[in-house]
Amino acid sequence: MLENVILVGLMGAGKTTVGRAVARRLGRQFYDSDHEIEARTGVRIPVIFEHEGEDGFRQREAQTIDELTQRSGIVLATGGGAVLRAENRENIKSRGTVVYLRANPHDLWLRTRRDKNRPLLQTADPRARLEQLFQERDALYRECATFVIETGRPSVNALVNMVLMQLEMAGIVPSNAGVPHEGPEASEGGPAETSVVALDGAHNVTSQAGNADGNPVQTGRDDALQTTPVSPSPDAFPR
């Protein structure tokens, strides 16, 4: 059985963009739980929130994630609030390798500030709301995660390669899946930052990034994350 790859993280972290690219590189089927809910209901998520409230939406989300995670060998991008329900966290953790795309609230605000399809951000101060959501959910994402990737400001291609490298090291995908891909996702520009940490069975964190000299760096969960230069993207991640 091929193991599922499941992406978690706050809205705007890049789960859909990166997940779709990872699926294309692996030749796997890609699903986005939010898009799947919209396809099944025939309406956009804000309409579901308006008519059923957040509780109604979360129930639909739980049913969708339960069904999708029972499939084999897919790449799944989950909604930002999926981890709020214990049943979702259990299904995500037990049915796939989980990648947490972690971005700071300021970067998330820059990526989402013009998006009207995010009900939780339709407030007077969406930036403060993102700060609050980050504080509430970061620990839940980490609880689910096999790998935590600090997104920083890299290109989509750099993030995809980082995800594939970690999946290869874990034996989830074949070794040639992580070969750098020079495609439309790649971009030019100056240095940016990204790093990745892997959670072992004891939920300890080990950085897989290198330092400025290219040597591996070991960090603890509460230590400052080390970074590796990559090329930035001119585009913001939509999801």
194 is in an annotated binding site: no
16 is in an annotated binding site: yes
Q: Is 120 left (phi over 0), alpha (psi -120 to 50) or beta?
A: alpha
73 is in an annotated binding site: no
Say how many C-beta atoms besides its own lie within 10 A of residue 234's C-beta: 8
12 is in an annotated binding site: yes
137 is in an annotated binding site: yes
Note the helical H segments in the chain: 15-26, 33-41, 45-69, 86-94, 105-112, 126-144, 156-169
14 is in an annotated binding site: yes
Place of tokens 């008519």: 51
9 is in an annotated binding site: no
DSSP state of 132: H
Q: Distance between CA atoms of 232 and 193, rounded to whole angstroms?
A: 8
**Residues 32, 121 contacting (CB under 8 angstroms):** no
Binding residues for ATP: 12-17, 118
Binding residues: 12-17, 34, 58, 80, 118, 137
Binding residues for substrate: 34, 58, 80, 137
Binding residues for Mg(2+): 16
